[in-house]
């Protein structure tokens, strides 16, 4: 048994995280302590005078070192929570952002009582497909990714969550897609410019660069999906694309130019333009 109490370690870790520039320093310290001691955060209050074992202390010091070096908390924990789902993530997948929930909510409200065939391009951890499959068990989801290691993580998450209305296809966007009558095509593709990458928060450098970068203007994949999706959508079908807050006007103009109707843009939790959509009529 070490001489370090839970509460003393929390104070130490919170200070270290604060000095490293991490905003939610106390919360993250509590999460790390919860993980290592296998206690809930609420229970830590009751156990504040309990001493760490040497094994726990050494493990905590390893984890706090990783976080101080700005490794994302989700990679340290091995999981991420999104829409009340706990999913596995690794260095082969980007970490889902909370603002993507706004896109998911829009899709769920498109046609709440109708069976849908959905194509999720660049599924990553599978999070969009997983939420849609969970909320709409009658929908049939096809999740696509170009990287086999990434696709295997999405498959693993679906199995762990017992979601069986998703099928997975290894494909470079539409290249291996044979079916051509999807009611919804959705994608959160890479959309950062190279200059955005080098100005990003340090945590981003731990995530796969291929999940973010999209050429000199950040529009390479958004442009491709807009133009190719028409061949794969059913009549009345919807295309919904997540994008950077400065890219909405480009997506709207492109969709109108190639014949989509009911074109519009949705907003994220910070009231920034976050996803755009259009209907094939």
**64-88, pLDDT tens digit by residue?**
999 999 999 999 999 999 999 999 9
10 Å CB burial of residue 111 (0-12, 13-18, 19+) is middle
213-235 pLDDT, tens digit per residue, is 998 899 999 999 999 999 999 99
Q: Say how far apart CA 122 and CA 145 lie, in whole Å.
A: 5
195 exposed, middle or buried (CB, 10 Å; 0-12, 13-18, 19+)?
Answer: exposed
- The half-sphere exposure of 78 on its side-chain side, counting CA atoms within 13 A, is 3
Q: Which pLDDT score is estimated for 111? A: 74
pLDDT tens readout for residues 91-112: 999 999 999 999 999 999 987 6
The rounded distance, in Å, linking the Cα atoms of 92 and 95 is: 10
Estimate to the nearest angstrom the gap between the alpha carbon of 25 and the chain centroid: 22
CATH number of this structure's domain 6-69 = 1.10.8.10
Q: How far apart are CA 99 and CA 158, in angstroms?
A: 21
8 Å CB contact between 29 and 14: yes
Tell me what pLDDT residue 112 has: 67
Per CATH, the homologous superfamily of domain 91-279 is: Vaccinia Virus protein VP39 (3.40.50.150)
Q: What is the Cα–Cα distance from 65 to 63, expressed in whole angstroms?
A: 5
Q: What is the pTM of this model?
A: 0.92
Question: Residues 51, 44: contact at Cβ < 8 Å?
Answer: no
Query: Which segments of 176-219 does DSSP mark as H helices, in order?
Result: 194-198
The pLDDT value recorded for residue 245 is 93
Instruction: Parse the chain into domains and list their residue ranges.
Output: 6-69, 91-279
């Amino acid at each position: 048994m070490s001489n370090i109490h839970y509460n003393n370690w929390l104070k130490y870790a919170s200070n270290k995280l604060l000095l490293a520039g991490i905003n939610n320093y106390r919360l993250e310290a509590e999460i790390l302590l919860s993980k290592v001691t296998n206690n809930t955060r609420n229970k830590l209050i009751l156990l504040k005078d309990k001493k760490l074992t040497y094994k726990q202390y050494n493990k905590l010091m390893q984890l706090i070192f990783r976080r101080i070096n700005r490794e994302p908390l989700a990679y340290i924990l091995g999981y991420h929570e999104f829409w009340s789902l706990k999913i596995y993530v690794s260095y082969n997948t980007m970490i889902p952002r909370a603002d993507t929930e706004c896109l998911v909510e829009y899709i769920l409200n498109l046609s709440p009582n109708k069976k849908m065939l959905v194509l999720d391009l660049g599924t990553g951890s599978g999070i969009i497909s997983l939420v849609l499959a969970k909320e709409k068990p009658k929908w049939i989801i096809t999740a696509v990714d170009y990287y086999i290691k990434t696709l295997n993580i999405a498959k693993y998450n679906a199995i762990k969550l017992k979601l069986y209305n998703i099928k997975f296809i290894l494909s470079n966007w539409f290249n291996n897609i044979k079916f051509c009558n999807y009611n919804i095509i959705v994608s959160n593709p890479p959309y950062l410019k190279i200059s955005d990458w080098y100005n990003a928060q340090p945590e981003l450098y731990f995530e796969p660069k291929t999940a973010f970068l999209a050429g000199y203007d950040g529009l390479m994949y958004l442009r491709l999906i807009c133009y190719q999706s028409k061949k794969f959508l059913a009549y009345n079908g919807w295309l919904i694309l997540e994008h950077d807050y400065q890219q909405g006007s480009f997506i709207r103009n492109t969709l109108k130019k190639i014949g989509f109707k009911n074109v519009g843009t949705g907003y994220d939790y910070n009231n920034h333009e976050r996803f755009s959509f259009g209907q094939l009529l």
